[in-house]
Structure 1
């Protein structure tokens, strides 16, 4: 399955030749040995067991496919990632290749990422689909190659719990009004400890998971288009905050989170009828709660009643990047291209084993995954890839502190800790501080 084609074989050989010419320590501690083998370091976060297995296999397969480059992989627990990476970067010993979520703008501004143009073929870069370009490139310069896209706000529902409330189990709510009406019908049928819905509950999670909803309610995100001012004191943002306050006040959601937003344990244990999470949650249901697969509904997150935008989710992502200080950048680029930008069959196991819950960023990979026999047993895949992802917006490129200010306002209003007016004023003050501190108008997108 993992065979090099001739183009990639030449790329690996060329990279190894360059690696011999620049022999010496790499940023991640790699070097070129006396026998001409270039060693590069690759770090990735700890993901689900099947993802971790794929990462181990792709490194093993690459190393066995040729003898000029050796990749040494390190799996880093998610809660230790930031500290470990910052320490490595400060010491000039960041890995040659590593995984990177979210926007690349801050990393590019900090000079942390190597351009992929020149170390990854134009052919491979040209395969990245349009919806993945905002997280891959700035203008015409590529700094990251995505492995996947995944909607960050998807609605899951327990069909049996909806049926018990006299609701159509096959159809989820299309709007917030429909969601609230369904919760009103579901609530009397629940046992103690059960709730209608488990959404985001804290400022940090709101900060990243609600960006698509902000766009849906208001037609824009948290800054004016020229990044000169916050743009959250309007009817859309007010209605969004009030909607979550209703969920809280009506006891449709638990006052203490039953599980993290990113995991599906509360849904799997049937403590909630609706769960809001990323598309990846279906993978957890398939692996940890397989009996629920047949009774799990999935659909787009509900729209505002007077929606201004045509989506309520953002596209999360995980990308591979090459460190700007890598001494073996060509070899790093060759590994990256072989693993995730070359033969589509290298990637099929990843998307199949994660239960068809993630979106490939190349049409050739989408076709190969859809052709897998297991795809027919994963009807949710078409909903994620064809119904939800195409209209999802990219994650914002403005600084994280802007998003966190909005998330803090949403949490404080939802829980009654602040009025909408006070929460918006506090958020605006925080955002204005970021605008001045980081001179955001000079960094605003040109389009």
Structure 2
């Protein structure tokens, strides 16, 4: 995509009300292709009188705005940087669709903004990438010599799908969850979402772009529970080295979260930047050649590659099966309701077991859909009993109850199959087939295992 960057002040440069003595903020807008992006340039007071290093902040995942990075921008400005932060594009970016190449275009458009400023040293304009930005920034830097250096925070050296599964399992373990849900959501769920196209750029490989980079790189992690820190550090350093880039500095900050804000355990999100983080950046930019690599931190678990789903478990097949089961169970319950309203008795010898079967099956399916979405989006398991989430236990109990009702229905139907109408045989036969399909589905999603 062609890049064009035109910075225009939306008004005279104005100082932040509480930080007039520390930094000056100026609103700008610039273009990346046919999209107009809005941002803020934060500069030290008096920056116009001398040229300083410039840095563009590239977002983490989600519809992020510059407001989320104001603490970073102000701290970096106080350390001597001219900082551009901007609102992430909404065109072409959503929960289920995004392009790292397109986001890299946006970052490079920001670089052009800083290159055009009189208070910025054009030989020291860099990119700062946080989390998802750790995939975007190397791609941008590998395509432009105008990027002088790269700073990565909480970057992942593995694919988004692999990182997501690792992060989800960490969160669930931290919440005290054990058992089958630990595999269902992080592994099975991630594979399903990736197959369904609901996890954008799921299989993106960050290593080729890193191998093409020639800029000095400073990569930093805290007690990271979202991107595997030790694993990512090794992968990123190796990829850069394989490409001939040896100017690589790795730093690790204890008591910091994914974003290098203060945190007691890496899960709790802090408001303050961890001490030493921005100072490390400023000292490093002042002299790239002085590398002080830290020892790798402890990482309790390695991430694991996620293979694609086999054809018979593909998201399309599962979705069709899910819809078929819901319709079948709901139709049977509707038929039973009509029977009750007309005061017609159940089929002799079968009793109410088919009703319980259909009700338990439908409740399990709809409950699972809601709970899976909740855990994936939050990610929070809800109340935990022992090491099992209460909602998950309920779904497993419903599954067990459905299995008992299915056996009772099958036994009753076998006894009366020759004495009931063809319509009753057809309804019970369909219910039996749906139950068989349900068992296979429940096995896949871990509802039948402890």
TM norm. shorter chain > 0.5 = no
Higher RCO (C-alpha under 8 Å, 6+ residues apart): 1
TM-score (norm 1): 0.27
When Rg is computed on C-alpha atoms for both structures, the one with the higher figure is 2
